[in-house]
Amino acid sequence: MLNAIGPIDGRYRGKTEELAPYFSESALIRYRLAVEVRYFIALCGIPLPELESVDDDSKQALIDRMNAFTIDDAHQVKEREKVTNHDVKAVEYQVKAWMEEVGLNDFSEFIHFGLTSQDINNTATPWMLKDGLNNVLMPLLDRLIALLKSQAEQWVEVPMLARTHGQPASPTRLGKEWRVFIERLDIQKKRIEEIPFSAKFGGATGNFNAHMVSYPEIDWPTFANGFVDSLGLQRSQTTTQIEHYDNMAALFQGLSRVHTILIDLCRDIWTYISMDYFKQKVVAGEVGSSAMPHKVNPIDFENAEGNLGLANALCRHLAADLPISRLQRDLTDSTVSRNIGLPFAYSVISMKSMIKGLDKLQLNKSKLADDLEANWAVVAEAIQNVLRRTGYPKPYEALKSLTRGNHRIEEEDIMRFIESLEVEEGIKSELKRIRPENYLGYP
């Protein structure tokens, strides 16, 4: 790990290891092998006349061999690639070797029958992406949202001074401010879940040319639809040599919106910590500064923000680059698609940092109360609106004259102003009950 070029496989390997079964080179090989094997089994299911004699035991033996995939199999494929100089052809030869192992050598030429590399790549890649999203990233996002919901419930009645443009504004509740982010995340999560995982499966240029010329009596598009559907994917019906990646682009755009919301949350929490609204639990042995012993820095949110920015930069590039291909195919998608795990990794690192940071927050209620008490001017909005209701002349201007400026408004100033009003005593009593800590609106 100390020799790794990037932090994902170096410093942060412990945080990103769970993504390896979905986005590593070994994972790509395993998913490609699985597509090749499952395709052969599907051809047997038609059945093609030449495959009618393939018995169920032999098919199961091939599936079992595929399921027993190890890192040694990945190494074997890489060794074959040194000879072929073609990664998918090396996968094809590996499956043919397995065919020989399980006694299916006579049928090995139906491995990769009628296919081009992108039928394998553009099926393996969305399959990997779907599994990585559903098994790692979304559960982690659920965990983060659940923690925010727990804290929002815990702080549902905690009054807090709001700030608009950085200046004191109508008070709010801390729990409600957490719910803002929860709602945003819930909406974007739902939109991501609605995006299908699209695969391309249709031969060299998407027309099933080789399939149709070999077996014109078979409805190959219907066969391919069923095959791709069996993998939990959706086949794009009209393609070039490659999948057009529009849905994959939508996924990365959706993830980018989630990351942007999380950056917004990180910055707010960082600011609340700097305002002393939160203390942070001290971890024995940790050091906040090499020079200042007192420091407990909000590093979890700073680290998260930085990594979320990296995730978004990659998401934007993937979303912008993948859907573009010259004519029926160029190779830019090939090298770019190998990096789809990177934004996932930065996202995982970030969310784990945020969860760690959120768990360390300790609410400093006295500071929130002090800030409210120090900003009695914020009840001016309430007073002037009640006065509007009563028909009092120019209430906004009266309150502006009282509160605007560099002087601090105390409770006594507000009470004195209310007493000076030429309104009924009942209205004065109503106004006097308004305080910064109870002028909160709906919970």
In tens, the pLDDT along 385-419 reads 999 999 999 998 988 888 877 778 999 999 999 99
Closest C-alpha among 339, 352, 325 to residue 118: 325
Q: Catalytic site residue 214? A: no
In tens, the pLDDT along 327-339 reads 999 988 889 999 9
Say how many C-beta atoms besides its own lie within 10 A of residue 160's C-beta.
24
Those residues with Cβ within 8 angstroms of residue 58's Cβ, 6 or more apart along the chain or in another chain: 102, 103, 104
Domains in the chain with CATH codes:
15-113 (1.10.275.10), 118-200+237-364 (1.20.200.10), 375-432 (1.10.40.30)
**Mean pLDDT, all residues of the chain:** 94
Give CA–CA dist 341/428, Å, rounded: 63
* pLDDT at 290 exceeding the cut of 50: no
Token couple for 402:
């009282």
- The whole-number average pLDDT for the span 244-273 is 97
Does pTM top 0.85 for this prediction?
yes
* Rg from Cα positions in the chain: 31
* pLDDT at 289 exceeding the cut of 70: no
Of 274, 289, 420, 429, the active-site residue reads 289
Confidence of residue 288 (pLDDT cuts 50, 70, 90): low
Q: What CA–CA distances, in Å, run from 413 to 70, 375, 406? A: 76, 12, 14
In tens, the pLDDT along 300-337 reads 999 999 999 999 999 999 999 999 999 999 988 889 99
The pLDDT score that the predictor gives to residue 294 is 59
- The whole-number average pLDDT for the span 262-279 is 97
- The whole-number average pLDDT for the span 153-175 is 96
Strand 234-235 to 198-199 pairing = parallel
In tens, the pLDDT along 114-159 reads 999 999 999 999 999 999 999 999 999 999 999 999 999 999 999 9
The pLDDT score that the predictor gives to residue 402 is 86
Give CA–CA dist 174/177, Å, rounded: 5
Q: Catalytic site residue 244? A: no
In tens, the pLDDT along 4-40 reads 889 999 999 999 999 999 999 999 999 999 999 999 9
What angle separates helix 299-321 from helix 246-274, to the nearest 10 degrees? 160
